[in-house]
A and B are shown apart, each in its own frame.
Chain A
Amino acid sequence: MARFPRSALTALVLCGGLLGPVASPARGEVCAVDDTDREVCLAAPARRIAALSPGATELVYAAGAGERVVAVVAYSDYPPEAREVASVGSHTRVDLERLVALRPELVIGWVTGNPAEQLERIEALGVPVFYIEPRSFEGVASAIERLARLAGTRVAGDAEAERFRQGMAALAERYAEAAPVPVFYQVWDEPLMTINDDHLIGQVLNLCGGVNVFGDLERLVPRLDEEAVLAADPEAILAGGMGEENRDWLTHWERYPELTAVDRDNLFFVPPSLIQRPTPRLLEGSRLFCEKLDRARERRGEQGS
């Protein structure tokens, strides 16, 4: 295969990035294993970080390295400071030119969200890519710790990871014996989509003592028809929506008064950004989830009396 001629200096940078740490283990060297099980090593903690998904941006800020973020992608709206950072396009299509021009020392990629060929290209240009995609509560905590290690902000990062871990553990303990509540969680309306038990949101449901009525389905994000929901007859329906306050998806269900969830008014809105991103805000979202399910349990008593 013909290759495009590289300038000598880029080649030098490339070799430096790959071989440098091996040849002479610098004192500031930091390493971490990413979510594709590759070890990423940097000669020194990264001072310029590009986060290629809104979730990655949140995690880097949570790791205490917010000031080192030099590039984000569209919809990176949390924490609010992230809105001020230069954007390099969307997570599905990154503007490589703009990204390279910002001279990142570390790129945080999203395993299934970013185009593989673009991440490969970034690595070929000599910028290390750390792939993340947390699929469990522990995955979120450890992602924060690993990012903190690469950014040299372990004190702040480890503390935040610990806060998250303990918060989730406290919820788990509190709801370990809670009465089960059959729940339908709506991810999207057209097509109607939910999640199964393997999904992070499904794990939150189980944590709060909810029973996902579609938890056994094969696919991570199954598509359904309304009939399936009517047949499953959940006791509570939880939904996000378009935007942080839009309850339209829930009012849609009110046309079916025979649904237990509608009958008992157990239609709950949960802001999607609190629950759909694998970040420390998931703790807040989980607390909200658990409160809603508690309310559903209280209404059982009201019905009986």
Chain B
Amino acid sequence: MIPMIRPLGALALAALAALALSVALGSVTLPPEEILAALGGRGEALSRTLILELRLPRSLAAFAVGGLLAVAGALMQVLLRNPLADPYVLGLSGGASVGALLAMLAGFGSVLVSGSAFVGALVSTLLVFGLAHGHGGWTPARLLLTGVVVAAGWGAVITLMLAVSPAQRLPGMLYWLMGDLSHAGTPWPLLALLLLVCLLVVPLGRSLNVLARGPLQAAALGVAVRRLEWTLYLAASLLTAAAVTGAGSIGFVGLVVPHMLRLVLGNDQRLILPACALAGGTLLLLADTLARTLIAPEQLPVGVITALLGVPTFLFLLYRGQ
């Protein structure tokens, strides 16, 4: 356990620094002492509103969503044994998007949009689960193909809905599809889920390490492969559904953060999964801070920034790696 403490400690420090930065920066400039006073529940009413009602909940939600996506991506990559897997590869974000867009078309408020997105994500999960189960045995390859085709179907439905939507609703829908944290509500459920998942998957880490080497070896070593794979699928789906419900489909974090960490830390799932939670959260936190301050008062979609930050970092690590 000792060698894990250093990288995780460093990542935790980075996450705290990113959180401090994110709370300190905004389109309204506040002096540091005012921010500290607001955090302590003192100071002016306005700065308390800005810090406690607007910035801090959004920052925590960004961290939680980033962490959930990165962990979900890492689990999907182990499950499908495919480096291109990300949390959305099995059509989950498509289902969530269709749910959310339907609610937006009907003119519902934000709570129903989130609820509808969550239902869409679950419907997609069960659909893929049921179809991949099908007749005969199932394999990760079959699951992947089923998921990819279901995702393509959702994609067509989304395009159709965008094409027939009234023009004034389009910007809101596009922002949702691009991923956006401004409608993330209270961050506590997401943070709790992230913590819970970290605590639950670490004991599974050894089995996951074996599974990553191949199902035959895993079975030979006494791992209940089928059950572990379905657990992974449902866990990753639940995490993704929660993240997408909170912030729309933010791309890139779930694909690249696990790979980045593997390049630096090696492929031990016991270390990678908690590290993903911290690093994914930090990346999204920094990206969201930039998204809301770069050209303030205009707001950028956070997915643009995650890719712009992540792509060069990843390419550098890949180029440097063996």
Interchain CA distance A145-B46 in the complex, whole Å: 31
Q: Is the CB of A2 within 8 A of B186?
A: yes
Are A120 and B299 closer than 8 Å at their CB atoms?
Answer: no
Check if A10 sits within 8 Å of B53, measured CB to CB. Answer: yes
> A117 with B297: in contact, given A6-B53, A98-B27, A112-B168 (CB under 8 Å)?
no
Question: Which B36-63 residues sit within 8 Å CB-CB of chain A?
Answer: 41, 45-46, 48-50, 52-57
Query: What separation, in Å, do the CA atoms of A167 and B296 have in the docked complex?
Result: 41
Residue B267 lies at the interface, judged by CB distance under 8 Å to chain A = no
Residues of chain A from 32 to 87 with CB closer than 8 A to chain B in the complex: 74, 87
Is B292 touching A95 in the complex (CB atoms < 8 A)?
Answer: yes
- Tell me which residues across on chain B come within 8 A of A88, comparing CB atoms: 297
Within the complex, which residue of B52, B108, B109 is in contact with A4, where a contact is CB–CB below 8 Å?
B52
Q: Within 8 Å CB of B220, what residues of A?
A: none
Residue of A at shortest CB range from B48?
Answer: A7
- The answer to whether the Cβ of B321 comes within 8 Å of any Cβ in the partner chain is no
- Contact check: which of A94, A101, A220 meets B50 at CB < 8 Å? A101
Q: Does B33 sit within 8 A of A, measured CB to CB? A: no
Using an 8 Å CB-CB cutoff, how does the interface string of A85-124 with B read, 1 for contact, 0 for none? 0011110111111101101000000001101111010000
* Alpha-carbon distance between A182 and B27 when the two chains are bound, in angstroms: 51
Residues A97 and B27 in contact in the complex (CB < 8 Å), given A4-B186, A116-B110, A125-B49: yes
Contact B166 A220 (CB under 8 A): yes
B188 touches A (CB below 8 Å) = yes
Q: Is the CB of B50 within 8 A of A92?
A: no
**Count of residues in B whose CB is under 8 Å from the partner chain:** 40
Q: Does B1 count as interface, using CB distance less than 8 angstroms?
A: no
- What is the chain A residue whose CB lies nearest that of B26? A97
CB of B10 closer than 8 Å to a CB of A:
no
- Contact (Cβ within 8 A) B166 A112: yes
> Which of chain A's residues has its CB closest to B298's CB?
A89
* Residue of chain B at shortest CB distance from A74: B298
Query: Does A231 have its Cβ within 8 Å of any Cβ on chain B?
Result: no
User: Do B45 and A96 have beta carbons less than 8 Å apart?
Assistant: no
Q: B175 within 8 Å of A by Cβ?
A: yes
Are the C-beta atoms of B28 and A97 separated by less than 8 Å? yes
B160 close to chain A: CB less than 8 A: no
- Contact, CB under 8 Å: B113 / A101: no
B183 at the interface (CB under 8 A from A): yes
Whether A4 pairs with B297 at a CB distance below 8 angstroms is no
Take A2-B186, A101-B28, A116-B109 as given contacts and tell me if A10 and B48 are in contact as well, using a CB distance cutoff of 8 Å: yes
Tell me how far the C-beta of A193 lies from the nearest C-beta in chain B, rounded to whole angstroms: 7
Residues of A within 8 A of B109 (CB): 116-117, 120
Q: Is the CB of A98 within 8 A of B28?
A: yes
In angstroms, Cα B168 to Cα A113, docked, is 6
Write out the residue numbers on chain B whose beta carbons fall within 8 Å of the beta carbon of A3: 186
Query: In the complex, what's the smallest C-beta–C-beta distance from B294 to chain A, in angstroms?
Result: 12
Q: A101-B46, A115-B172, A115-B183 are in contact. Are A95 and B297 (CB under 8 A)?
A: yes
**For residue A13, which residue of chain B has the nearest CB?**
B45
Q: Which residues of B contact A9 (CB under 8 A)?
A: 45, 48
Q: Which of B55, B108, B167, B175 has the most CB of A within 10 A?
A: B167
Q: Which chain A positions have C-beta within 8 A of B168? A: 112-113
B182 in the interface, Cβ–Cβ < 8 Å? yes
Q: Which residues of A contact B183 (CB under 8 A)?
A: 115, 117-118
Complex Cα spacing A13 to B168, Å: 33
Chain B residue nearest in CB terms to A124? B53
Is A95 in contact with B27, judged by CB distance below 8 angstroms? yes
In the complex, what residues of B have CB within 8 A of residue A224's CB? none
**B46, B57, B113 interface centre (most CB from chain A within 10 Å):** B46
When distances are taken between beta carbons in the complex, the residues of chain A under 8 Å from B206 are none
- Known interface pairs A112-B166, A117-B109, A193-B167. Does A93 touch B298 (Cβ–Cβ under 8 Å)? yes
Asked whether B166 lies within 8 Å of A221 as measured between CB atoms, the reply is yes
Q: Is A23's CB within 8 Å of the partner chain B?
A: no
Cβ A89 vs Cβ B26 within 8 A: no
> CA of A67 to CA of B282 in the docked complex: distance in angstroms?
43
Measured CA separation A172–B163 after assembly (Å): 36
* Interchain CB contact (< 8 A) of A98 among B53, B186, B296: B296
Docked CA distance A13–B183 (Å) = 23
Residues of A within 8 A of B296 (CB): 89, 95, 98
CB distance from A69 to the nearest CB of B (A): 15
Q: Which of B84-107 contact A (CB under 8 A)?
A: 107
What chain A residues lie within 8 Å of B27 (beta carbons)?
95, 97-98
The verdict on A219 contacting chain B, using a C-beta distance below 8 Å, is yes
Partner of B54, one of A93, A100, A193: A100
In the bound complex, do residue B46 and residue A100 qualify as a contact, i.e. CB atoms below 8 Å apart? Answer: yes
Q: Does A5 sit within 8 A of B, measured CB to CB? A: yes
Instruction: Verify A96–B52 contact, CB threshold 8 A.
Output: no
CA distance A166 to B320 in the complex (A): 75
Contact of A103 among B46, B55, B166, B182 (CB under 8 A): B46
User: Knowing that A3-B186, A7-B49, A7-B52 are A-B contacts, what are 9 other residue pairs whose CB atoms are under 8 Å apart, sorted by A's residue number?
Assistant: A4-B188, A88-B297, A89-B298, A89-B299, A95-B297, A98-B297, A112-B166, A116-B108, A116-B172
